[in-house]
Structure 1
């Protein structure tokens, strides 16, 4: 999951759209629009995948299914963001030219590089990754309860002698373990 987040984040760095527009002041302006500007959904997808990687280490069975659903949605987001750039590269081009020159161009010329196609493929791959995650998570062990505090008043198993941890737990509850009756 961390590798997937890294790949999606790296896709936002290269140039996705090459734009050229004529402005009254500067004449023809040529700009390279990176993926993070052309399709901000890729950056959001990378952050969501990073959060999913952390969540997988903490959640139980139901939480894993939620993570699988979120990974599917992140894949759809990345693919849809790339698809929007492929369908209309003039939108991000016009916004980049307007920001760089302060003038909104009438019709910028925009040419798409190969990176949006790669991002769309990675988005589809994330959906497949979610399917693999769903299959693999069935074999994972349940989350450990080792560091969970026992419920108040939980009796010690029969035949188990008290130890120093029980004494510390009693002190934490406000009981005096030296009295032996559990009273404060």
Structure 2
């Protein structure tokens, strides 16, 4: 009788580790995508409303969206989107870089939204002048709940960056191609003599097959 372990008795560490690593990366990609979506979502509605007088239209009501009042929010959403793509590929050192970028994006959103909360009239001055043709130094402006929500989302992005730094498990860089698992669960280059296809793949990676 063979003493080889069956599928139920075989150790799951070698085969299960890559699966767990992919699942872990997938969760972080999803979280960063959600963060980017939330930033874009809170920057879309109206943040500031104001009124002015135009010689042609009389009283003009002007609404200022979050993206207009704080363009940093849109930039923060794009940075978080890029971080979501990067975290799927980077290794341990790259994870620190992605976490730092994520924290920076969150701080950018918080700073832009806080500036609108502190000075809503300043955020309304340029849109009001464009709508009425008259520059008003300190227009009367009302602020909605949008900037406060953006501050909360930005802080969540910063907390997400801290959690990414503290995430457990190994983070091996996923840049290896044309490799096969050995019997011990390690990684070895694919066997076989080079051919036209392998040369083409090497060129696509930036390597010199010669």
* TM value normalised by structure 1: 0.78
Offset at 1:119? Answer: 0.5
Unmatched tracts of structure 1, length 5 or more: 150-163, 174-183
Map 1:35-184; keep pairs closer than 5 Å: 35-136=66-167, 138-147=168-177, 166-169=192-195
CA shift at 1:170, angstroms? 8.8
Pairwise CA RMSD = 2.3
1:21 aligns with 2:52: yes
TM-score by length of 2: 0.69
SS of equivalent to 1:111? strand
Q: How many residues align?
A: 159
Larger radius of gyration: 1
Q: What residue ranges of structure 2 are gaps of 5+ in the alignment?
A: 1-31, 180-189, 200-209
CA distance, structure 1, for counterparts of residue 90 and residue 197 of structure 2 = 31
Query: Does 2:42 align with 1:11?
Result: yes
Between the aligned partners of 1:170 and 1:108, the Cα distance in structure 2 is: 70
CA-to-aligned-CA distance 1:16-74 (integer Å, 9 cap, x gap): 00111233443321111110101111100000000000010111111110110111111
User: Residue 23 of structure 1 contacts residue 105 of structure 1 at CA under 8 Å; is this kept in 2?
Assistant: no
Q: Following the alignment from structure 2 to structure 1, what is the Cα–Cα distance between the partners of residues 57 and 137?
A: 15
Indicate if the aligned counterparts of 2:36 and 2:81 stay in contact, CA closer than 8 A.
yes
Distance 1:170 1:34 in 2: 55
